[in-house]
Amino acid sequence: MNAFDVLGDPVRRRILELLSEGEQGSGAITSAVRAEFGISHSAVAQHLRVLRETGFATVRAEGTRRLYVVDSTPLNEVDVWLDRFRRFWSQRLDALETELARTRRKK
Amino acid sequence: MNAFDVLGDPVRRRILELLSEGEQGSGAITSAVRAEFGISHSAVAQHLRVLRETGFATVRAEGTRRLYVVDSTPLNEVDVWLDRFRRFWSQRLDALETELARTRRKK
DNA sequence: GACTTATATAAGTTCATCCTGACATAGTCG
DNA sequence: CGACTATGTCAGGATGAACTTATATAAGTC
């Protein structure tokens, strides 16, 4: 499963968003996601497995708890892929800025 | 269909890569992709449709030809979503730079 | 040790996506 | 006009992803 497929699922994106705020226990993630998406704990556990297996997250054990942290490597790969398109929106931003400058001058 | 799902498919990513080099005719895209992935022209046409419908590409007609250009809006959205993780790899880059600097000093 | 809590896995079902093959539309050229 | 080229659409089948329910493991608690 490729990095973009992993990000294709809204549940996994949400989990990554939670992890972007720092290390999270499996329990915290599961209850947050269950509340938002109304899926079983098993479903969440399976998404966590995908994130582990594709390198988006790593785990460490602490007693029975499992603490997840994001690993940015695959996210970085996605970002690198996007590089080739970046000039397109910076062009658009430039155009927007020009437009803004023009509007300001008119005042 | 969400932007990440669109990018989940390797054929669609390849088409976008081709489009990143500028406007491309349907024919050119189709033959390139057919050669690389060994799929039918219909399959490519359907991927083009997805790209149109999700706003990744726009088309203009010229006789019977259809010329595609990339529209960066949804790609930009993906980029914005990635923002929250960007600090992770800039941290890693910082660490790498520190390491590099140290190595240089040793020489 | 028995019970509970935290987490992960397995089996099976459902549903969406991607593909192929057949057909449709519309310009172009003799 | 009729044949040909370029492109797109439709119906149906195969595959795989995501879910649920049930089960497994292992660490704390009494």
Q: Which nucleotides of C are covered by protein (CB under 7 A)?
A: 5-10, 17-22, 26-28
DSSP assignments along A27-94, one per residue: HHHHHHHHHHH---HHHHHHHHHHHHHTTSEEEEEETTEEEEEE--HHHHHHHHHHHHHHHHHHHHHH
Which pLDDT value is given to residue A107?
A: 55
Residues of B in contact with A7 (CB under 8 A): 4, 7-8
Burial class (CB in 10 A: 0-12, 13-18, 19+), B14: middle
pLDDT tier for residue A99 given thresholds of 50, 70 and 90: confident
A26-32 average pLDDT score: 96
Which pLDDT value is given to residue B105?
A: 64
Q: Is the predicted pLDDT of residue A98 greater than 80, yes or no?
A: no
d(CA A85, CA B16): 9
What residues of chain A have any CB closer than 8 angstroms to a CB in chain B?
A: 2, 4-5, 7-8, 10, 13, 16-17, 20, 70, 72, 75-76, 78-79, 81-82, 84-86, 88-89, 92
Does strand D come within 7 Å of the CB of A39?
yes
Least confident among A11-15, A85-89, B15-19, B70-74: A85-89
Which pLDDT value is given to residue B102?
A: 76
Average pLDDT, chain B: 92
Please choose, from the candidates B60, B80, B69, B65, the residue with its C-alpha nearest in 3D space to the C-alpha of residue B16: B69
pTM of this prediction? 0.87
pLDDT digits 0-9 by tens, A42-96: 999 999 999 999 999 999 999 999 999 999 999 999 999 999 999 998 776 677 7
Q: Is the predicted pLDDT of residue B66 greater than 80, yes or no?
A: yes
B88-101 average pLDDT score: 74
Which pLDDT value is given to residue A89?
A: 83
Q: Is the predicted pLDDT of residue A26 greater than 80, yes or no?
A: yes
Which pLDDT value is given to residue B82?
A: 96
Encoded tokens for B63: 């006789």
Neighbours of A48 (CB within 10 A): 22
Which pLDDT value is given to residue B62?
A: 93
Q: Is the predicted pLDDT of residue A105 greater than 70, yes or no?
A: no
Which pLDDT value is given to residue B16?
A: 98
Burial class (CB in 10 A: 0-12, 13-18, 19+), B103: exposed
Least confident among A44-58, A91-105, B13-27, B78-92: A91-105
Q: Which amino acid is at B11?
A: V
- Identify the H or E element spanning A10: helix A10-19
d(CA A29, CA B41): 43
pLDDT digits 0-9 by tens, B19-55: 999 999 999 999 999 999 999 999 999 999 999 999 9
